[in-house]
Amino acid sequence: MAETKEKSLSDEKPKPRVRPIVRLGIFLISHSFHVSVVCCTAGVLALFLLPVLAKNTYISENALMPGSASPMLSNQHVSDGNRLVKDLTNPNSKSSETGIESHKIIAQYMLDLGAEVSFHKFHPQMNQFHPLHFFSSPDSGKIQENYSCSSYGINTVGIIRAPRGDGKEAIVLVTPYNALKSGFGEALSLGIAYSVFSLLTQVTWLAKDIIWLVADSQYGEYAAVAAWLREYQTPKFSSLSAPNAEMCPDVNNLFELKGHSISGSKFSNSFRRAGTMAAALVLKVRDQNEQFEDTISIYAEASNGQMPNLDLINVVNYLAVHRQGLRVNVEKLWSLLNSSWLKSLGEIFESLAKVAKSLYPKWKFGIPATEYVEGTATLASSLYYQALGVPTGPHGAFRDYQVDAITLEISPKFSLDKVWRNDILLRGGRLIEGVIRSVNNLLEKFHQSFFLYLLTSPSKFVSVGVYMIAFALLIAPLPMVAASLYVDANSSSKRSKGDSSTPSAITDTDEHSIAIRSWSPTTSFMIWVLLSILSLLTLNSVLASPLACAKATQEKEWALVKSVTISSVFIGLGLMSVINFATAEIGALLMVPMCLLAQPLKLDVRAGTLRSFCRMICNLVLGHIAFPPAAFFLLKGMLDGFGNANVGDFWMWVESLWAWNSATYLFIGMVQLPCWVLCISILFHTC
Amino acid sequence: MEKVKKKIGSFSFWNWVIASIIFRLILIYFPKNLNLSSRPEVSTPLTSFRRLAEGYWLKQSSMSSYAGSMYHGSPLLLSLLGPLTVKRIEGQPNHLLYSLVSVIADVVSAMLIRATGQNLRLAYLRSLESLDLVKQIDVSEFLCSGDIAALIYLCNPFTIVACVGLSTSPIENMAVILCLYGACSRLIPLAAFGWVIATHLSLYPAILIIPVIFLLGCGPDSPPRKLFLQRHQQKEVLNQSKLPPGFSWRPIIHFAFWAFLWSVYVLVLCGISLKQFGGLWEMFKSTYGFILTVEDLSPNIGVLWYFFAEVFEFFRNFFLIVFHVNILFMILPLAIRLRHRPCYLAFVYVAICSMLKSYPSVGDSALYLGLLGWFVNELADMQFSLFLFCGYVGVSLLSPVMHNLWIWRGTGNANFYFTTAMVYACLQIVLVVEGVSAMLNHDRKLRILITGKPQDAKS
């Protein structure tokens, strides 16, 4: 990118002896219109070609060796798991108000297996906004003052020490469990985890410690796991923060009871640790299911579009499909599956591939149309969830500490007989056992396979080298157009280099200035819009008026503003593509056409030709679409139907981005909105 | 009209200065959120505040401050700034006093830059007058280059970051600027003092002795001497008073004397403070030796750390020599070509040093970008200015992101970060090359104005 930029930027009059690279740059700049049309179309086309270009996944790390050993999980372990499920679903265990009883049962079961057990108490943390969270290390320094004894959660942690290991590495198994209102699915997931756990206490091949975390999900699954991880990775040494939870009598009660009943056992009050985590698996079982076969869904997106190493997904996919006969699912945008235009696009690609194959039999790149549609739906959802920057499950907490983690959600075909339950326990347990055994074989942490990829199906992926091409094509015209505008404006009037970017600094200030809690989302959204318009207009009249006095500079001023806008969009998009690719891609789709086409409406009206009329219409349409709330409504309306689209939804959506520290929030506030304002100011420029 | 403009200019100059100081103070009061002092772009092994504090601690517990390869700065800095690293005021940020010292150093440097810039502008106008070019070149269009340079230095985000990030580079920069200021205003003891201190603190400013000699020998920047002779030949009268003075050796001997005096003084002070711990030899080994042998390979915005992490051990010495001679190679040709513009020569040297330095930081870039402001009039039609500006903005934003991707998120690797370092080096190269060629073009333009006909591009 930098190279093309370097090539394209040369604001020099042609001299007799010009270096070829400069000549190429001059050529590109002088034909920037054609170049940008070609590049943008190619960029959009390449985006739609991605499902065709997706490669099959393969297991890159040899040490993993998935499925090379036959599963050891037997019916004995399954019946152990069944026992736990029965005890937990027993109505007697739910007598206590805080659900401590069920935690005690779980702890007792773990102790009986000979594992080390401890309880971890935590307070659900309010979400705080750390705008530069992704710039720095995960920190422990968030100490809250107002603890109350009524709101705390208890994680039960069981640790098996590996007979072959040195205690420096560990594998984590997480099962979210809400003791107060647990469904049958959660109990079943505990049953699966327990059967695996009971097997792992007996095996000899274990080289990494196993941590089983029963996360108390009454304040959300993510919060519980995040609290435990924070305690695990960044211990607090201050004496002030430690005794907070211990002051609550209820918790102390719990410990005392334990201490009495099992003296001299491996139960401990203090926080227990094992080694560094190699991988983490979050296991869930869904209560209801509409499907006709046992499926397993994989959720992998962590905060800011980070993904776990592809090898982890590969191992799960390989074992589930080839060993346990489960169907593997990744998220899809279901509404895209029925769209006819996508189907016809897929058919076009298919027929093109057929033609190519008839021309030269070794060209085999086509995929069937239905597969294309499915791939696109998966890719779209993959892009969307990465772009949101909000983790799709408790596994997201692990990624902040560089631990690869995924959530597996088993959705069995629903029936209540015991055979079926045993079957799910056996297959689910064997899958988990296989994955743990593979990860156990690892010598180093996951590093062989990709971290930057998009999934188009559980067994197909698009790597960074491929999807970056689409993005690079899309934003390649930006520097050229910026340079050509700058050259034009500079050569005609050298003096008009005023600070034309005054509005750019404004929008993000009023974004933060509003901290409205009590109003409904719709009102707060409206207030935000009004306040921003007001502050923009006042600032515009205060700051931008000195520029208006010189008539001569006016004519080219919009070109300079456009040049500045385009360069800042280019820098912003380039930066965002490194932080979170999906956001940058979606942002580029919205903003690049708008920025490239923007031209004062007055000029177009004055010209009065068909071409300028078309451009005017395009400008108006794009100006509406690229406004982030409008884009949000449009997307939501297309996916869910326009009936239930609400003005307040956007506010809620942005608030959730804020609460999850998403970089997308910053992108919208600091790149997209200011550039949209600049483009609008170009459109309504008085020249 | 002109006067009003000037009034507005000077008024807003002081406004900007105050605004930048207030901005620094605000940042100093919220240091926790930024954690700038641990960023690799800001603090190198030579300028890091934490290492200074460690060195001071070692000194206080009567050990050699160079023990354990933590501190690599000058012992004088330890005695001057060391006490400030431990002194705390109740209820104030931890390192308030130290930060105030860097803010003051920044402001002093800016004022010195301003004075020098005004000096240079006067000299330029005088030389234009003696060439009778005042009519052809619209002098009223000339910007106040001193003000602009000072504001560039003060408001540059690089300077602000280096100042708030508690690195010692504001002080090193001040020494360099002091040296140039002294040479420009012919205060020979001051110039010698600045040169000795700057060399003592960071070694690389030693090559500034060449521009300083030119400055003292034949005065500040002016068009080539040849042009004056041509002009007067045209007029057929050789007016000696209008010619720029020739090279005179007297001030240089003065300078040598003072430089010798100051260096003896500095060395004696260092020797006293290091008497029990191996003396001066220990100091040279762990300051200059550390700089020249590139021992610390922790990532920074330069290119040497990656290279020396990759290179085979038995080639190491060879490449060390290659990289350092690289700087020395460029000294002579540049000195010959730009001998009539010593201040510009100093700018080019500083830029080259900050590019090829073993431990560069953004503080070094802040220095040469500030000096660049002196030549706004001469470099008005420099090429690639938009590209350079966007490049600097882009790289300085991209570099922390890449570092984060590599160190904290684990999804990138060292190559990601090194890429930004290479792009940064390329930008600096483009800046220097385009800057020098723009300056030569400016001289060419003056000659065309004098002779009235374009010559072949031989010179």
Mind giving me the DSSP string for B396-445? HHHHHHHHHIIIII-SS-HHHHHHHHHHHHHHHHHHHHHHHHHHHHHHHH
Provide the 8-state DSSP code for A267.
E
Mean pLDDT of chain A: 79
- Give the C-alpha separation, A3 to B424, whole Å: 13
The predicted pLDDT at position B4 comes to 43
Give B-chain residues touching A479 at CB under 8 angstroms: 390
Closest CA to A633 of A650, A610, A616, A619: A650
- Give the C-alpha separation, A364 to A143, whole Å: 58
For chain B, give the percent of residues with pLDDT over 90. Answer: 46
Question: Among the listed ranges A260-269, B47-56, B121-130, B289-298, which one has the minimum average pLDDT value?
Answer: A260-269
pLDDT bin (cut points 50, 70, 90) of residue B365 is: very high
Helix (H, G, I), strand (E, B) or coil at B331: helix
In this predicted structure, the answer to whether residue B372 has a pLDDT above a threshold of 70 is yes
In this predicted structure, the answer to whether residue A112 has a pLDDT above a threshold of 70 is yes
Minimal-distance CA residue of chain B relative to A2:
B423
- Give the C-alpha separation, A488 to A486, whole Å: 5
In this predicted structure, the answer to whether residue A549 has a pLDDT above a threshold of 50 is no
Q: Read off the pLDDT of each residue in B324-335 and give the average, rounded to a whole number.
A: 90
pLDDT bin (cut points 50, 70, 90) of residue A209 is: very high
The predicted pLDDT at position B2 comes to 42
The predicted pLDDT at position A150 comes to 60
The predicted pLDDT at position A312 comes to 92
Q: In degrees rounded to 5, what are phi and psi of residue A215?
A: -85, 130
- Give the C-alpha separation, B291 to B285, whole Å: 9
Q: Read off the pLDDT of each residue in B182-188 and give the average, rounded to a whole number.
A: 91
C-beta separation of B311 from B319 below 8 A: yes
Take residue A620 and report the two structure tokens written for it. 């108006």
The predicted pLDDT at position A505 comes to 39
Closest CA to A177 of A141, A132, A225: A225
The predicted pLDDT at position A69 comes to 84
Q: Which of A5, A137, A451 sits opposite B408 (nearest CB)?
A: A137
pLDDT tens-digit profile of A47-95? 999 998 898 988 888 888 888 888 888 889 899 888 888 888 876 655 5
The predicted pLDDT at position B21 comes to 93
- Give the C-alpha separation, A174 to A360, whole Å: 51
Q: Read off the pLDDT of each residue in B365-390 and give the average, rounded to a whole number.
A: 88
Contact B404 A136 (CB under 8 A): yes
Q: Which of B394, B401, B410 sits opposite A402 (nearest CB)?
A: B410
Q: Which of B394, B400, B409 sits opposite A402 (nearest CB)?
A: B409
Contact B384 A5 (CB under 8 A): no
pLDDT bin (cut points 50, 70, 90) of residue B420 is: very high
Question: Among the listed ranges A539-543, A603-607, B56-60, B454-458, which one has the minimum average pLDDT value?
Answer: B454-458
Minimal-distance CA residue of chain B relative to A567:
B390
In this predicted structure, the answer to whether residue A495 has a pLDDT above a threshold of 50 is no
The predicted pLDDT at position B369 comes to 94
Is the minimum CB–CB distance between B189 and chain A shorter than 8 Å?
no
Helix, strand, coil percentages, rounded to 5, for chain A: 60, 10, 30
Q: Are strands A453-457 and A460-463 parallel, antiparallel or unpaired?
A: antiparallel
The distance of B404 to chain A (nearest Cα, Å) reads: 6
The predicted pLDDT at position B33 comes to 60
Q: Which of B35, B404, B423 sits opposite A2 (nearest CB)?
A: B423
Is the minimum CB–CB distance between B401 and chain A shorter than 8 Å?
yes
C-beta separation of A661 from A640 below 8 A: no
Q: Which of A134, A451, A567 sits opposite B404 (nearest CB)?
A: A134
* Higher-pLDDT residue of A627, A523: A627
* Higher-pLDDT residue of A444, A586: A586
In this predicted structure, the answer to whether residue A509 has a pLDDT above a threshold of 60 is no
- Give the C-alpha separation, A364 to A342, whole Å: 21
Contact A134 B409 (CB under 8 A): yes
Q: Which of B384, B391, B397 sits opposite A10 (nearest CB)?
A: B384
In this predicted structure, the answer to whether residue A258 has a pLDDT above a threshold of 80 is no
Give A-chain residues touching B391 at CB under 8 angstroms: 2
- Give the C-alpha separation, A168 to A156, whole Å: 21
* Higher-pLDDT residue of A679, A22: A679
The predicted pLDDT at position A515 comes to 43
For chain A, give the percent of residues with pLDDT over 70. Answer: 79
The predicted pLDDT at position B240 comes to 57
What does pTM read for this prediction? Answer: 0.85
The predicted pLDDT at position A289 comes to 63
Q: Are strands A295-299 and A267-268 parallel, antiparallel or unpaired?
A: unpaired
Minimal-distance CA residue of chain A relative to B427:
A6
The predicted pLDDT at position A597 comes to 87
Q: Read off the pLDDT of each residue in A503-520 and give the average, rounded to a whole number.
A: 45
Q: What DSSP string runs through A499-554?
A: -TTGGGGTHHHHHHH----SS-HHHHHHHHHHHHHHHHHHHHHHHSGGGGG-HHHH
C-beta separation of A125 from A142 below 8 A: yes
Contact A575 B394 (CB under 8 A): yes
Planar angle of CA A108, A112, A116, nearest 5 degrees: 80
The predicted pLDDT at position B417 comes to 93
Contact A571 B409 (CB under 8 A): no
Query: What's the distance, Cα to Cα, between the start and end of chain A in Å?
Result: 34
ipTM of the complex: 0.82
Q: What is the CATH code of the structural domain delimited by A74-124+152-233+266-331+392-461?
A: 3.40.630.10
pLDDT tens-digit profile of B118-146? 999 888 888 888 887 777 776 666 778 88
List, in order, residues 6 or more apart from A518 with CB less than 8 Å away: none
- Give the C-alpha separation, A311 to A404, whole Å: 10
- Give the C-alpha separation, B348 to B335, whole Å: 10
Q: Read off the pLDDT of each residue in A367-376 and give the average, rounded to a whole number.
A: 88
The predicted pLDDT at position A485 comes to 86
The distance of A547 to chain B (nearest Cα, Å) reads: 15
The predicted pLDDT at position B382 comes to 83
Minimal-distance CA residue of chain B relative to A22:
B384
Adjacent-strand bridge partners of A449: none
Adjacent-strand bridge partners of A216: A177
Closest CA to A175 of A153, A154, A191, A198: A191
Q: Read off the pLDDT of each residue in A193-199 and give the average, rounded to a whole number.
A: 93
Take residue B34 and report the two structure tokens written for it. 């930024």
The distance of B386 to chain A (nearest Cα, Å) reads: 8
pLDDT tens-digit profile of A550-602? 444 556 778 888 888 899 999 999 999 988 899 999 999 989 988 888 888 88
Q: Read off the pLDDT of each residue in B355-368 and give the average, rounded to a whole number.
A: 92
Provide the 8-state DSSP code for B360.
-
A167, A188, A208, A329, B6 from A159: Cα distances, Å = 11, 20, 11, 30, 76
The predicted pLDDT at position A242 comes to 43
The predicted pLDDT at position A461 comes to 92
Question: Among the listed ranges B18-27, B236-245, B359-368, which one has the minimum average pLDDT value?
Answer: B236-245
Q: Which of A451, A479, A578 sits opposite B402 (nearest CB)?
A: A578
Contact B394 A402 (CB under 8 A): no
Domain residue ranges of chain A, discontinuous segments joined by +: 29-52+466-492+552-684, 74-124+152-233+266-331+392-461, 332-388
The predicted pLDDT at position B454 comes to 57
Q: Which of B386, B404, B420, B422 best probes binding to A when mutated, by most A CB atoms within 10 angstroms? A: B386
Rounded to the nearest angstrom, the gap between the alpha carbon of residue A171 and the centroid of all alpha carbons in its chain is 23
Give A-chain residues touching B405 at CB under 8 angstroms: 578
List, in order, residues 6 or more apart from B78 with CB less than 8 Å away: B52, B55, B56, B59, B65, B71, B273
pLDDT tens-digit profile of B61-88? 888 888 888 899 898 988 888 888 888 7
In this predicted structure, the answer to whether residue A14 has a pLDDT above a threshold of 80 is no
Give A-chain residues touching B426 at CB under 8 angstroms: 2
pLDDT bin (cut points 50, 70, 90) of residue A543 is: low
Take residue B330 and report the two structure tokens written for it. 């460029």
Mean pLDDT of chain B: 86
Q: Read off the pLDDT of each residue in B359-367 and give the average, rounded to a whole number.
A: 93
pLDDT tens-digit profile of A211-221? 999 998 888 88
Query: What torsion, rounded to 10 degrees, do the Cα atoms A422, A427, A429, A430 define?
Result: 140
Name the range with the highest mean pLDDT among A78-92, B3-17, B422-436.
B422-436
List, in order, residues 6 or more apart from B8 with CB less than 8 Å away: none
Other C-beta atoms within 10 Å of A97: how many?
A: 9
Question: Among the listed ranges A369-383, A564-578, B132-146, B377-391, which one has the minimum average pLDDT value?
Answer: B132-146
Q: Read off the pLDDT of each residue in A241-254 and give the average, rounded to a whole number.
A: 50
Say if residue A572 is exposed, middle or buried (CB neighbours under 10 Å; 0-12, 13-18, 19+).
Answer: buried
The predicted pLDDT at position A513 comes to 41
* Higher-pLDDT residue of B13, B90: B13
Q: Read off the pLDDT of each residue in A410-424 and give the average, rounded to a whole number.
A: 76
In this predicted structure, the answer to whether residue A503 has a pLDDT above a threshold of 90 is no
pLDDT tens-digit profile of A148-192? 556 678 888 999 998 877 888 999 999 998 877 777 888 889 999
pLDDT bin (cut points 50, 70, 90) of residue A433 is: very high
Q: Taking a contact as any Cβ pair under 8 Å apart, which residues of chain B between 22 and 41 contact chain A? A: 33, 35
Contact A578 B386 (CB under 8 A): no
pLDDT bin (cut points 50, 70, 90) of residue A263 is: very low
Name the range with the highest mean pLDDT among A89-98, A400-409, B161-170, B188-197.
B188-197
Give B-chain residues touching A137 at CB under 8 angstroms: 408
Q: Which of A8, A448, A567 best probes binding to B when mutated, by most B CB atoms within 10 angstroms? A: A567
Q: Read off the pLDDT of each residue in A392-420 and give the average, rounded to a whole number.
A: 84
Contact B398 A567 (CB under 8 A): no
In this predicted structure, the answer to whether residue B38 has a pLDDT above a threshold of 80 is yes
The predicted pLDDT at position A358 comes to 85
